[in-house]
Amino acid sequence: MPETTLATATVLPALPALSAQAERLIELGVHELAGLPADELRRFAEAAAALAGGDGALLAVHPDLVPASVLAPLLRRDGKPGFVVIDMPDVDRFAPCAIELPDAHLYVVTGLDRGDHMANWSPDEALPALIREERTPLLLTEGIHWVLQQPTVLERNHCFMPIGSRLRKADGTLDARTPAIWISNGTGRDGRERRDAPKVGWCWWGNRHTWLGFASATGRRFKDL
């Protein structure tokens, strides 16, 4: 297993307040995509601010309401929209794996970390380490929510994998593809016009990449309104 490299870690700007995050989702029309009134997001954000404390919580919509394929095009970098790679048409089948989501339309994710110190680890190596640290890997949709609220979290040579989402095949085994969020180089089937655009793609479960960390959190919370 590779050594952790603290020197590559980057201090990221704090997330906006939950009330500002709610307004951002409303501006993007996420509430309409989820079939939720805008005021429900606002009320939840207000109530969740006290629940989550001051640790930079992320407001998330349950993936059953707004899946990754719907969220990804809302991402922006240098004016270019996000996209899902062409060879991942089943992106929305990557579901929470060994993670219990709150039974609620809206919830907050606390204690986010991009996992730069695990760059050049494989997902197979990173997952048990996160569990030992009592951290939970992010879901793909949570990772997209993070970049929607804090675009600077995605930067060249410091992107991440949200390995809490996996695809279980018909025979019960897990697909070796693992979701990742990074920046397109505009090569191959991405197309030159997509250079520098946010990209949802995949890597193999057993492979290492020097430019991919493993995004995780301390937990997930919700509050009935």
Helix (H) or strand (E) segment spanning residue 151? none
Rounded to two decimals, the pTM is: 0.94
Three-class DSSP category at 54: coil
Note the pLDDT of residue 182.
Answer: 98
Q: Do 14 and 56 meet the contact criterion of CB atoms below 8 Å apart?
A: yes
Span 92-139, pLDDT tens digits = 999 999 999 999 999 999 999 999 999 999 999 999 999 999 999 999
Q: What are the residue ranges in the chain where pLDDT is below 70?
A: 1-10, 52-55, 223-225
Helices (H), 67-208: 68-71, 123-132, 140-149
Which tokens go with 11?
């201090």
Note the pLDDT of residue 54.
Answer: 55
Tokens 């949709």 -> residue: 141
